[in-house]
Amino acid sequence: MEFDTIAAISTPMGEGAIAIVRLSGDEAIRIADRLYKGPGGKKLTDVKSHTIHYGHLIDPKTEEVIEEVMISVMKGPKTFTREDVVEINCHGGLVSVNRVLQAVLEQGARLAEPGEFTKRAFLNGRIDLSQAEAVMDLIRAKTDRAMNVALKQMEGRLSKLIRKLRQEILETLAHVEVNIDYPEYDDVEEMTHRLFLEKAEYVKKELEKLLQTSQQGKILREGLSTVIIGRPNVGKSSLLNSLVHENKAIVTDIPGTTRDVIEEYVNVRGVPLRLLDTAGIRETEDIVERIGVERSRAVLKEADLILLVLNYSEDLTPEDENLFKAVQGMDVIVIVNKTDLPQKINMNRVKELAGNYPIITTSLLEDRGVDELEEAISALFFKGTLEAGDLTYLSNTRHIALIQQSLGAIEDAIAAIKAGTPIDLVQIDFTRAWELLGEIIGDSVHESLIDQLFSQFCLGK
């Protein structure tokens, strides 16, 4: 498969030591060579693959120096895209890197679309679709655990498992076809049903095992949506600042200071939290504060974890008790803050309202109790299960949906077999499962979906 030559800036824009302009395609080396002036008249078209070369980029029209550069030359197929790839390392300023990119484009390269380098790696057969999606997961990883999951998916761990299951289904379908076309025994129907049932039960077990990792995997990928709620002035913004280790939220003694939902990502013991500090939930006549309270109630419904904050130095109020009712059935950690002040809260009543929810006492002013809170979040997230290093995590929403649909097709096949349904009808469910699993790795996926997936990537990747 042949493509034109593309180019893009592959490093974040802004001031920095180094920026990289990447080219990929049959003309990549020749385009760079037309701009390159190296020591001793060196030509990039003559150098060995996977080498780096010092020199300058020169404007062919004016002979003016564009930039001082180091150029990496990598010849296909031993590259990320399986095409010739050139990476021009220049100074990391906005003007310098854009000058380099413009010069490359003037020599015949085309500006790459978002994710086009990775898309070419997929289309050229270097990686499958699940591995391509893992590239973006790796870039967006916010914790070590999330990064490890993405790395293992990039290595093809999920792909290998999916291919194995597809092969099991395919071999079963082929075996059944042989039995149907060349029956040697009167009981061929019974034998075929037995074979189908055995394979279907095996595939079902493997898919269920994979889905068991999906909750943790999805949270590692997307973050645990965590909402901090409580009456005004109980310490919600102080809690956000303590977990983020920065003063992100304004903290005052004036109730109603937080008027909107503040969002921040934070890594808590390897668990990525998408932390939302909400406006204090109370009845108020202030129009702006009331809008904030309504937004707080809205994000509450979408939360994966609730941090419910109470004030140790005040009596429980009806508003506090209503908050417990609002979060019934959700994952909640109760935080009793301001233990540096005299106790007024009835802790027995708190325990009664909390039920099985963990209760953590803190003094955020004196930085006490934060470690215990982080430990409680980690324990709640892993729910007592041991993280296995060799476990294949299912983290991508698209993959999870396809696995669920595949499992449904297999379960339909099992039900049909047990009901004595004719084999040719059972085959339809088996074939459906095989096709759905193929969509995960890109073996049976529509071109429009591929374009949509890669459009979500950043430029230069």
Nearest to 32 by CA among 121, 109, 99: 109
Regarding whether 288 and 207 lie in a shared domain, the answer is: no
Higher pLDDT, 215 or 298: 215
Which pLDDT does position 449 carry in this prediction? 61
Residue 303 is assigned to a structural domain of this protein: yes
Q: Are residues 355 and 322 both part of a single domain?
A: yes
CA–CA separation, 311 and 341 (whole Å): 10
Query: Of the ranges 42-46, 135-139, 172-176, 288-292, which is most confident?
Result: 42-46
Please check whether residue 329 lies inside any domain of the structure.
Answer: yes
- Asked if residue 368 and residue 413 are part of one domain, the reply reads no
CATH no. for residue 81? 3.30.1360.120
Residue at 125 is within a domain = no
Q: CA 308 from chain center: how many Å?
A: 27
The CATH number of the domain holding residue 245 is 3.40.50.300
pTM for the full predicted model: 0.64
- Which CATH number does the domain housing residue 432 bear? 1.20.120.430
**pLDDT digit string (tens) for 367-406?**
889 889 888 888 877 654 434 444 566 777 888 899 999 9
In a domain, 122, yes or no: no
- The structure tokens listed for 360 are 């953590």
pLDDT for res 389: 47
pLDDT tens readout for residues 310-323: 999 999 998 888 88
Parallel, antiparallel, or unpaired: how do β-strands 271-277 and 36-37 relate?
Answer: unpaired
Residues 53 and 95 in one domain: yes
**What integer pLDDT is reported at residue 16 of this predicted model?**
83
Is residue 388 in some structural domain? no
* Residue 343 shares a structural domain with residue 405: no
Per cent of the chain over pLDDT 70 is 78
Same domain, 190 and 267: no
**32 and 145 both lie in a single domain:** no
Residue 297 — very low, low, confident or very high, per pLDDT cuts 50/70/90?
A: low
Q: Which amino acid is at 373?
A: L
Which pLDDT belongs to residue 205?
92
Task: Looking at the structure, tell me whether residues 236 and 361 fall in a common domain.
Answer: yes
**Residues 235 and 369 placed together within one structural domain of the fold:** yes
Instruction: Tell me the mean pLDDT in the region 201-221.
Output: 81
346 in the same domain as 233: yes
Strands of 332-337's sheet in order across: 262-268, 271-277, 224-230, 305-311, 332-337, 359-361
Mean predicted confidence (pLDDT) in 59-88: 94
Number of domains making up the chain = 3
Q: Are 376 and 318 part of one and the same domain?
A: yes
Q: Which of 78, 112, 146 is a domain's end point?
A: 112
Residue 408's domain comprises 132-213+393-454
Q: Does any domain span residue 127?
A: no
- The stretch 272-289 carries a mean pLDDT of 55
Residue 278: both structure tokens together? 């909400």
Q: Which two tokens stand for residue 188?
A: 């061929």
Q: Report, as an integer, the average pLDDT of 125-145.
A: 78
pLDDT at 182 over 60: no
Q: Rounded to an integer, what is the distance from CA 450 to the centroid of its chain?
A: 17
At position 50, the amino acid (one-letter code) is: H
Reply yes or no on whether the pLDDT at 348 is more than 90: yes
Same domain, 241 and 271: yes
61 or 212, which is more confident: 61
